[in-house]
Amino acid sequence: MADDKSSSSDDVKKKLPIIPIIIGILVILVVAVGAVFATLMLTGGMSDDALEAELAELENPDAVSQAAGEPVDPAAAEPLAPQLMVTPSPSRLATLYYEMQRPLTANLSGSRRVMQVTVAIMTHYDQMVVDNIVKHELAIRSALLTVLANTPEENLTRENFRLEIGEEMRISINAVLEQFEDFGGVESVYFTEFLIQ
């Protein structure tokens, strides 16, 4: 019986230190929250006037500047309206076309069929892009022949086949121009002749 009393008193001693620790933590939290709240109240951080003043400044910064006696810039007082951007050079946006004089002819990938196309290249940039195309026409023709030769015959039945191959050609032309001139500028490739035999 003495053993029962000693074991139950040991259990009580082990449980007792946890309760004061929890109470101590709660007291510390209450004091910290109270200190933050008191600081905000004393500094005016929680007053309605301070919140309203900040809101008014965000909504109309000029009215707050006038109330504070600061000079207001009349240009800044006008409401912001959408502004049209000025085109730096209208000729820069002219659409230019360049048609390759000789057609491109290549066998389709894995097929005995032949595709022959004549392409026209379009840009909205200036004559420099067309001059670069003429200057590097041999490299561009080679890249375009590679695109044609890598085209499988199954792709011919696709609904948007011409658009897809035109986009591949545009990417290839821009890659060649970027390699040699650091700028592509080709926006579309059009077919002026398209023949598959």
Domain 92-196: which topology? Answer: Tetrahydropterin Synthase; Chain A (3.30.479)
Mean pLDDT for all residues in the chain: 80
Q: Give 132: exposed, middle or buried? Use CB within 10 Å, 0-12, 13-18, 19+.
A: buried
- Top mean pLDDT of 15-29, 42-56, 63-77, 154-168 is at 154-168
Distance, in Å, from the CA atom of 27 to the CA atom of 54, rounded to the nearest integer, reads: 35
What average pLDDT score do residues 108-121 get? Answer: 92
Q: Give 176: exposed, middle or buried? Use CB within 10 Å, 0-12, 13-18, 19+.
A: buried
Helix segments in the chain, DSSP class H: 2-15, 18-43, 48-59, 61-67, 74-77, 127-135, 137-149, 161-181
- Determine the pLDDT at residue 42: 75
The label of the residue with tokens 């002819």 reads 105
pLDDT digits (tens, 9 = 90+) for 31-47: 988 888 788 777 766 66
Half-sphere exposure of 159 (CA within 13 A, CB side): 0
Is the pLDDT confidence value at 178 over 80?
Answer: yes
pLDDT digits (tens, 9 = 90+) for 56-99: 777 775 555 555 555 555 555 555 666 665 655 555 567 899 99
Number of other CB atoms surrounding residue 191 within 10 Å? 14
Distance, in Å, from the CA atom of 45 to the CA atom of 48, rounded to the nearest integer, reads: 9
The label of the residue with tokens 């026209």 reads 120
Tokens read off for 140: 């561009």
Distance, in Å, from the CA atom of 51 to the CA atom of 54, rounded to the nearest integer, reads: 5
Indicate the domain borders of the chain: 2-77, 92-196
